[in-house]
Amino acid sequence: MFYVNKLRDICYRNDFYLSLLLTKDMAGSWLGAHIDGVLLHAGDVRAPADVFGDIYQVFLILGTLVGVVVIAYTLYNSYKYRAQDGAAPESVDRPSLGELPTSGGGGRKLFLSFSISAIIVLSLIGWTYTTLLYVENEPAQHEDRMDVDVVGHRFSWEFVYPNGHSATGTLRVPKNELVQLHLTSNDVFHNFGVPELRVKADAIPGQTTTAWFVGKETGEYAAHCYELCGSGHSYMDATVVVMERDAYREWYNTTSGGNETEAVKP
Ligand SMILES: [Cu+2]
């Protein structure tokens, strides 16, 4: 991800320098084609899966670090202050219950550890919140995306493409393209989720909810219903097929307004 971001930075910078040299129109069209190329064809749309991966990694690393420091410090102190035969008990002016320590390093240490913990926790909350705002807002900023309606039925998933073509059980999408889902239900509450693509949203009758994802690798991804919706709930599965862009376009051009049912792989 780092290298992809770096690549995008470099491309943007070059776009900027180039636009100084070319006329406005020439620069505009070159820039448009180029950004398209970078954002869509190189798979540079930051997917929710990447965002959640980053959050997981940061929490894992920080959690491990804090754990190591706390355990090491505990072990160090238990060794340092271990009971020793024959040693006279140290006379220390300890604060009594309810009294703040007035002298010595104890108070400073306490204050320091509280401050560091507060800074870490508050920055984590801030960072996670702003990162999740990206997941919330990105599709609105991104004009070049694919919109699909997802309708929950007892007990199947129906996908309706922009040309009116509807398919039951299989959703085909092109690789590296932002796929915006508009979910609703025909009967009861359902919940559409594709664990591997880190996408999950309610499908509620009379309402439309949205969710989005980017398939970065071609292949088949299992989708399930995550809301207990009746006796067939556990069979309410679907497959998301991420295809190469050309293969997808070829397939999409053969579709019309008809309904097609593809068997769901168990
Ligand atoms: Cu369901």
- Per residue in 67-95, pLDDT tens? 999 999 999 999 988 887 776 666 666 77
Q: How far is the CA of 189 from the centre of ligand 1 (A)?
A: 7
Kindly state the average pLDDT of the residues 96-115: 76
Residues contacting 90, CB < 8 A, separation 6+: none
Q: How far is the CA of 19 from the centre of ligand 1 (A)?
A: 52
Is the confidence at residue 238, as pLDDT, over 60? yes
pLDDT given for residue 18 in this prediction: 35
For the question of whether the overall pTM of this predicted structure is more than 0.75, the answer is no
pLDDT grade for 144, boundaries at 50, 70 and 90? confident
pLDDT given for residue 143 in this prediction: 78
- DSSP 3-state assignment of 38? helix
Please indicate, yes or no, if residue 73 is contained in any of the structural domains.
no
Name the amino acid, one letter, at 96: S
Name the amino acid, one letter, at 20: L
Q: How far is the CA of 136 from the centre of ligand 1 (A)?
A: 24
- Per residue in 21-77, pLDDT tens? 333 333 333 344 333 433 344 457 888 999 999 999 999 999 999 999 999 999 999
Q: How far is the CA of 205 from the centre of ligand 1 (A)?
A: 12
pLDDT grade for 136, boundaries at 50, 70 and 90? confident
Please indicate, yes or no, if residue 239 is contained in any of the structural domains.
yes
Mean pLDDT (the chain) is 80
pLDDT given for residue 53 in this prediction: 92
Apex 56 CA angle, 53 and 60, nearest 5: 140
Please indicate, yes or no, if residue 81 is contained in any of the structural domains.
no
Q: How many domains does the chain have?
A: 2
pLDDT given for residue 21 in this prediction: 32
Strand 190-194 to strand 219-225: parallel, antiparallel, or no bridges (unpaired)?
Answer: antiparallel
Please indicate, yes or no, if residue 150 is contained in any of the structural domains.
yes
Q: How far is the CA of 60 from the centre of ligand 1 (A)?
A: 33
pLDDT grade for 3, boundaries at 50, 70 and 90? very low
Strand spans (E) along the chain: 146-153, 156-160, 166-168, 170-174, 178-185, 190-194, 199-203, 209-214, 219-225, 237-243, 259-261
- Per residue in 171-201, pLDDT tens? 999 999 999 999 999 999 999 999 999 999 9
- Per residue in 148-178, pLDDT tens? 999 999 999 999 999 889 999 999 999 999 9
Kindly state the average pLDDT of the residues 196-214: 94
pLDDT given for residue 20 in this prediction: 34
Q: How far is the CA of 158 from the centre of ligand 1 (A)?
A: 12
pLDDT given for residue 106 in this prediction: 62
Q: How far is the CA of 133 from the centre of ligand 1 (A)?
A: 28
pLDDT given for residue 78 in this prediction: 93
Q: Are 175 and 245 in contact (CB under 8 A)?
A: yes
- Whichever domain contains 229, its CATH number is 2.60.40.420
Q: How far is the CA of 154 from the centre of ligand 1 (A)?
A: 6
φ, ψ dihedrals at 45, nearest 5°: -75, 125
Domain range for 24: 2-41
Please indicate, yes or no, if residue 220 is contained in any of the structural domains.
yes
pLDDT given for residue 10 in this prediction: 41
Q: How far is the CA of 160 from the centre of ligand 1 (A)?
A: 17
Is the confidence at residue 219, as pLDDT, over 50? yes
Q: How far is the CA of 157 from the centre of ligand 1 (A)?
A: 8
Residues contacting 108, CB < 8 A, separation 6+: none
Please indicate, yes or no, if residue 95 is contained in any of the structural domains.
no
First vs last C-alpha separation in the chain? 33
Q: How far is the CA of 184 from the centre of ligand 1 (A)?
A: 11
Please indicate, yes or no, if residue 178 is contained in any of the structural domains.
yes
Q: How far is the CA of 244 from the centre of ligand 1 (A)?
A: 30
Please indicate, yes or no, if residue 52 is contained in any of the structural domains.
no
Q: How far apart are CA 71 and CA 79, in angstroms?
A: 12
Q: Are 251 and 241 in contact (CB under 8 A)?
A: no
